[in-house]
Chain A
Amino acid sequence: MVTHKTLRLRRSPASDLLEALGTKKAMGKIVNDFVINVATANGTGSQSSNLIILHSMFEMGIPVSGKNLFPSNISGLPTWFIIRVSDDGYQAPGDYTNIQVLMNKDTWMKDLEGLEPGTIVVYNEDVKLPVDRDDCVLLGMPMTKMARKINPKLGRLIANMYYVGAVAHLLGIDEDAIGKAVKAQFKGKEKAVELNMQAISEGRSFAEESWEFECQYCVESREKNPDSFLIEGNEAIALGSIYGGISMLSWYPITPSSSLAESIIGWLPELRSDGDGGSTCAVIQAEDELAAAGMVLGAGWAGGRGMTCTSGPGISLMSEFIGLFYFSEVPGVIWDVNRVGPSTGLPTRTQQGDLSMLYEASHGDTQHIVLIPGTVDECFEFGWRAFDYAERFQTMVFGFNDLDLGMNRWVTSGFNYPDKPMDRGKVIRSQEELDSIANYGRYRDVDGDGIAYRTLPGSGLDPILYRGTGHDEDGIYSEDPQVYHDAMARLKRKIDGAREHLPEPVIREEENKELAVIFYGSMENTIVEIDDMLEESGLSVSTCRVRALPLHPEVEDFIRRHERTIVLEINRDGQLFGIIRKEFPADLIPKIHSVAYSDGMPPRARVYSDMILDVLKEVS
């Protein structure tokens, strides 16, 4: 039989906090300001259910974000999906769960234990485990039984749709919005749409009829930007690359970057056909990451726009080739979708742990351009710009993304078309052009910007044998000390020269210059909330989001203008902090402090704001 309890509602610390922060309340209700956590087992189809909840609220114009915490496994291991709804636009997972959906017997007890008093718990009664929390609101539903009734075979999958119905009822999500989200989720599969809609609707009815409980959390429609949609960062990069004229993609499967490559493959037929049925981009699934990097090098050397995408372990394997890119000055693009290292690490969790490796990857003295998007719009933009930078500076350009931005869905109002033609860099394509350059040599800096001109294989124009060994300005093998020294000095000058051309930092500056926070990448999704928490403590905080390495000169000026600067990162050692400390003048260093934390989770605002406050206490 159905069991349910209606409890006298106790306020959770979360709701106190939210109220303190100025939560909008209507008739005692907490509107558009809560966190849902769904605990399921991997491979049970729960991703569809969770995305339906996410998209239905998005459809209503409600600011919402979702984080998928999934295991390195295809089926059976626990997975959680966190949905944050916030009129303030907060996208971090949040400090507390307000509504917990329990579906997974393996984590059942632990999930329950961790809840704050007053949490609303929607659980699948058919799991038949105790729900021993009298201080929470316990709402049971025989989801598996009900699902089996409408489809015995698919019962396990469809059971998840019942919690969609339950959550929709509790929060008051529009039926139309749910319908739209289901249709989008099962595009073109009429039967699936029908079956899942039935399950959701049964779930909703059951909750309406059986739960004598009025939920304090609710959703309210907001005016939806008709242009907006949700998309994963990886797909945005894929599209950006396609509009950047990628002509060769080599890749080796690795989480969390595979979806980037697969997305390119998916879009190519529609976007990159030559009109006669031929593709204008070659795709090779390589035998390993070394080969993938070698293919990018070959493509760039031959005059194409080659790219690969990988994660930390792949970068480690590619390192020897990365040095060859740098030293032989061949353009190429490598996207790193960062997961948790070292070694195999936590393959399905997020981190900013590869930054310093990327910046100086490979043996000897090297330095690489790293583009760091913080939004899906920038994923698209840097996707195409990466090729321009690579060809302009004749070097390997890294894109730095992470699992959080790469594999979760973020909002955009639509991507903007590239605002300038492709920059193919200093490539000599005719004898006349070659003749016009006095004293041409493949590695001779005739313009004074550290960038030499190059000719392409097949052109017959001043051919050389490219090599990773020491070479003089004409590309001829040399072990001459001065020749080596000068070549390395020019390379340094070349990459240094990129600083001002790379994406400038995004700065939001307060009048009062007491505290500055420098951050990058996916931390963008949490920074507003961190900022608000700090300002609650009476601080006024300027922020600066770094978008490329080597650092733009603006960053140094920004630090100089502030009394104290915190460098905020999702790693253990403060990798950007290390780069800043190494590169910036010594007088600045004492007022710069590192706040770095990483546990595999997407950044939670409270963790970082507390750490910042602690550091400020220590140093003041």
Chain B
Amino acid sequence: MVRLNVLELEKSEYTGGKSSLCPGCGHDQISNNIIQAAWENGIQPEKIAKMSGIGCSSKTPAYFLGKSHGFNTVHGRMPSVTTGANMVNKDLSFLAVSGDGDTASIGIGQFIHAIRRNLDMVYIVENNGVYGLTKGQYSATVEKGSKKKKGKENQQAPIDLCAMAINLGCSFVARSFSGSKKQLTALIRAAMSHRGMAFIDVISPCVTFANNDESYKSYNYVKANDEVLHILDYIPHFSPLEEVEVPEGEFREVNLFDGSTLRLETVAADHDYTDAVSALSAIHESEKAGNHVTGLLYYDDDVPTATDTLGLSETPLVDLSEDLLRPSKDSLEKVNAGFRS
């Protein structure tokens, strides 16, 4: 039997072209999770705008959501293009994919300012610690002491994008791993239900240049050092495709903007995702231990979005008729008269 989502669409309505990335690339797994999440959430594909910069990760919008418009922009500048599009059409759901080079180096300024504005978008960084498309140079997110397949061990401190996002007041900050299908899909689904900047840093091993065991972002390393904060279940505001079991142990529920819920089942200690200080502490403690902390790190549903603060028309600006975009002839007469007096 063909399975349909709440819009009675098959999953194939959410797929894209054939990937040209290296076989086994973590990015392709993330693409699959994006397809899964968008399908399960029942988002109309045409209401999604796929955004990306330049790099291996930024190529992926060609491989998912073929029914959505998208823009593969320039290196590190995806946030500004998304900002402009969001200003004129706030009803679009922006789903952006970037890489660690695209976001943490060349595009770090635009990343910071998109967060500062709380741009209404899902921002996924496919983070592998290397520049894949230019053959494996280190990026700025590579950990001190990590070593890629060829070359020397990295000596510089990494930029932790999640910590940076929390410091900037990002309203939704999560980290996951491309190999953690359940966790990642739940986080993407929750991010799609959020209004404002939802940032997910996804560790995504580069199978070609940095999948050796000395690389902190290799499959083996991440699997062995994944510090999972909580088990995640996403419960949509409509009936879910699959039944969600109520966990027996401790759990907390995050109420999302569209009425959906993200259930956080405590694994070890309870993580307070509403407290920036404990979120930062979790990141830094984990980093000290050589681990990757994953899960919903920080969430704040009370941050106005970029369009909220501008007092824009209720109607998306792109749908306004000419009589609202061009002031009347009388008004120009008044302007002229004002200068004359």
Q: Chain A: residues with CB nearer than 8 A to chain B?
A: 226-229, 231, 239, 242-245, 247-248, 250, 267, 270-272, 274, 276-284, 286-288, 290-306, 320-321, 324, 328, 384, 414-415, 417-418, 421-422, 455-460, 463-469, 477
User: How long is the Cα–Cα vector from A295 to B79 in the complex, in angstroms?
Assistant: 8
| Contact A458 to B89, CB < 8 A, known contacts A271-B327, A463-B46 | yes
**Which chain A residues border B110 with CB–CB below 8 Å?**
287, 290-291, 294
How far in angstroms is the closest Cβ of chain A from B125?
A: 18
Q: Which of A282, A324, A463 contacts B67 (CB 8 A)?
A: A463
| Contact A295 to B84, CB < 8 A, known contacts A274-B324, A301-B71, A418-B326 | yes
B90-114 interface bits toward A, Cβ cutoff 8 Å, 1 = contact, 0 = none: 0110000000000000000110110
A247 touches B73 (CB 8 A): no
Tell me whether B307 is interfacial, beta carbon within 8 Å. Answer: yes
Question: Which are the 8 A-B pairs with shortest beta-carbon distances?
Answer: A298-B84, A294-B80, A304-B88, A460-B46, A245-B325, A278-B313, A295-B84, A457-B69
Q: Which of A291, A302, A467 contacts B72 (CB 8 A)?
A: A467
**Which chain A residues border B307 with CB–CB below 8 Å?**
282
**Which chain A residues border B113 with CB–CB below 8 Å?**
286-287, 291
**Which chain B residues border A278 with CB–CB below 8 Å?**
311-315
| Contact A277 to B311, CB < 8 A, known contacts A227-B340, A243-B332, A290-B77 | yes
Tell me whether B317 is interfacial, beta carbon within 8 Å. Answer: yes
A294 touches B77 (CB 8 A): yes
Q: Which of B46, B83, B312, B332 contacts A294 (CB 8 A)?
A: B83
| Contact A465 to B70, CB < 8 A, known contacts A299-B84, A299-B87, A456-B318 | yes
A279 touches B322 (CB 8 A): no
**Which chain B residues border A305 with CB–CB below 8 Å?**
325
User: How long is the Cα–Cα vector from A456 to B335 in the complex, in angstroms?
Assistant: 34
**Which chain B residues border A304 with CB–CB below 8 Å?**
84, 87-89, 317-318
How far in angstroms is the closest Cβ of chain A from B165?
A: 16
**Residue from A231, A271, A295, A469 with most neighbouring chain B CB atoms (10 Å):** A295
**Which chain A residues border B87 with CB–CB below 8 Å?**
247-248, 282, 284, 295, 298-299, 304, 306
Q: Can you list 20 A-B contacts with CB-CB less than 8 angstroms, sorted by A residue number?
A: A228-B340, A245-B325, A248-B84, A248-B88, A267-B335, A271-B335, A272-B325, A272-B327, A274-B324, A278-B312, A282-B317, A295-B83, A301-B71, A301-B85, A302-B89, A304-B318, A417-B332, A458-B49, A466-B72, A468-B74
**Which chain B residues border A455 with CB–CB below 8 Å?**
69
| Contact A468 to B69, CB < 8 A, known contacts A231-B339, A287-B113, A304-B89 | no
User: How long is the Cα–Cα vector from A426 to B320 in the complex, in angstroms?
Assistant: 18
**Which chain A residues border B326 with CB–CB below 8 Å?**
243-245, 384, 418, 422
B340 touches A302 (CB 8 A): no
**Which chain A residues border B79 with CB–CB below 8 Å?**
291, 294
For B58, the closest partner residue in chain A by CB is: A467
How far in angstroms is the closest Cβ of chain A from B338?
A: 9
| Contact A248 to B317, CB < 8 A, known contacts A297-B73, A422-B325, A464-B69 | yes
B88 touches A299 (CB 8 A): yes
**Which chain A residues border B83 with CB–CB below 8 Å?**
250, 284, 291, 294-295, 298
Tell me whether B183 is interfacial, beta carbon within 8 Å. Answer: no
- Count of residues in B whose CB is under 8 Å from the partner chain: 59
Tell me whether B19 is interfacial, beta carbon within 8 Å. Answer: no
**Which chain B residues border A467 with CB–CB below 8 Å?**
71-72
B84 touches A294 (CB 8 A): yes
| Contact A229 to B340, CB < 8 A, known contacts A298-B82, A417-B332, A460-B67 | yes
A301 touches B332 (CB 8 A): no
Tell me whether B68 is interfacial, beta carbon within 8 Å. Answer: yes
**Which chain B residues border A274 with CB–CB below 8 Å?**
313-315, 320, 324
Tell me whether B45 is interfacial, beta carbon within 8 Å. Answer: yes
B91 touches A458 (CB 8 A): yes
For A288, the closest partner residue in chain B by CB is: B109
Tell me whether B55 is interfacial, beta carbon within 8 Å. Answer: no
Which residues of chain B from 273 to 316 have a CB within 8 Å of any chain A CB? 306-307, 310-315
**Which chain B residues border A245 with CB–CB below 8 Å?**
322, 325-326
For A229, the closest partner residue in chain B by CB is: B339
A290 touches B339 (CB 8 A): no
For A290, the closest partner residue in chain B by CB is: B77
User: How long is the Cα–Cα vector from A620 to B176 in the complex, in angstroms?
Assistant: 78
How far in angstroms is the closest Cβ of chain B from A329?
A: 12
User: How long is the Cα–Cα vector from A4 to B66 in the complex, in angstroms?
Assistant: 85
| Contact A294 to B81, CB < 8 A, known contacts A299-B87, A303-B89, A465-B61 | yes
For B49, the closest partner residue in chain A by CB is: A457
Tell me whether B261 is interfacial, beta carbon within 8 Å. Answer: no
User: How long is the Cα–Cα vector from A294 to B73 in the complex, in angstroms?
Assistant: 9
B245-261 interface bits toward A, Cβ cutoff 8 Å, 1 = contact, 0 = none: 00000000000000000
Known pairs A284-B87, A302-B92; list 20 more (Cβ under 8 Å): A229-B340, A245-B326, A278-B311, A280-B312, A281-B317, A282-B88, A286-B80, A292-B80, A294-B79, A294-B80, A295-B84, A297-B81, A324-B73, A384-B326, A460-B44, A463-B66, A463-B67, A465-B69, A465-B70, A468-B73
User: How long is the Cα–Cα vector from A418 to B91 in the complex, in angstroms?
Assistant: 30
**Which chain B residues border A279 with CB–CB below 8 Å?**
310-313
For B329, the closest partner residue in chain A by CB is: A417
User: How long is the Cα–Cα vector from A301 to B69 in the complex, in angstroms?
Assistant: 10
**Which chain A residues border B77 with CB–CB below 8 Å?**
290-291, 294, 320-321
Tell me whether B237 is interfacial, beta carbon within 8 Å. Answer: no
How far in angstroms is the closest Cβ of chain B from A194?
A: 20
B88 touches A247 (CB 8 A): yes
User: How long is the Cα–Cα vector from A260 to B115 in the complex, in angstroms?
Assistant: 27
User: How long is the Cα–Cα vector from A286 to B88 in the complex, in angstroms?
Assistant: 16
A458 touches B46 (CB 8 A): yes
Which residues of chain B from 17 to 46 have a CB within 8 Å of any chain A CB? 44-46
Tell me whether B134 is interfacial, beta carbon within 8 Å. Answer: no
Tell me whether B62 is interfacial, beta carbon within 8 Å. Answer: yes
**Which chain A residues border B47 with CB–CB below 8 Å?**
458
How far in angstroms is the closest Cβ of chain A from B305?
A: 12
**Which chain A residues border B84 with CB–CB below 8 Å?**
248, 250, 294-302, 304, 306
B80 touches A280 (CB 8 A): no
**Which chain A residues border B340 with CB–CB below 8 Å?**
226-229, 414
| Contact A459 to B312, CB < 8 A, known contacts A294-B77, A304-B318 | no
**Which chain B residues border A306 with CB–CB below 8 Å?**
84, 87-88
**Which chain A residues border B117 with CB–CB below 8 Å?**
284
For B113, the closest partner residue in chain A by CB is: A287
User: How long is the Cα–Cα vector from A272 to B325 in the complex, in angstroms?
Assistant: 7
Tell me whether B239 is interfacial, beta carbon within 8 Å. Answer: no
Q: Which of A282, A415, A465 contacts B310 (CB 8 A)?
A: A282
For B313, the closest partner residue in chain A by CB is: A278
How far in angstroms is the closest Cβ of chain A from B195?
A: 17
For B307, the closest partner residue in chain A by CB is: A282
B73 touches A457 (CB 8 A): no
User: How long is the Cα–Cα vector from A290 to B327 in the complex, in angstroms?
Assistant: 30
B72 touches A468 (CB 8 A): yes
**Which chain A residues border B45 with CB–CB below 8 Å?**
460
How far in angstroms is the closest Cβ of chain B from A420?
A: 11
User: How long is the Cα–Cα vector from A41 to B66 in the complex, in angstroms?
Assistant: 62
**Which chain A residues border B69 with CB–CB below 8 Å?**
455-459, 463-466
How far in angstroms is the closest Cβ of chain B from A330?
A: 9
**Residue from A248, A298, A328 with most neighbouring chain B CB atoms (10 Å):** A298
Tell me whether B230 is interfacial, beta carbon within 8 Å. Answer: no
A239 touches B109 (CB 8 A): no
**Residue from A226, A229, A421 with most neighbouring chain B CB atoms (10 Å):** A229
**Which chain A residues border B311 with CB–CB below 8 Å?**
277-279
For A298, the closest partner residue in chain B by CB is: B84
User: How long is the Cα–Cα vector from A19 to B328 in the complex, in angstroms?
Assistant: 49
User: How long is the Cα–Cα vector from A513 to B279 in the complex, in angstroms?
Assistant: 79
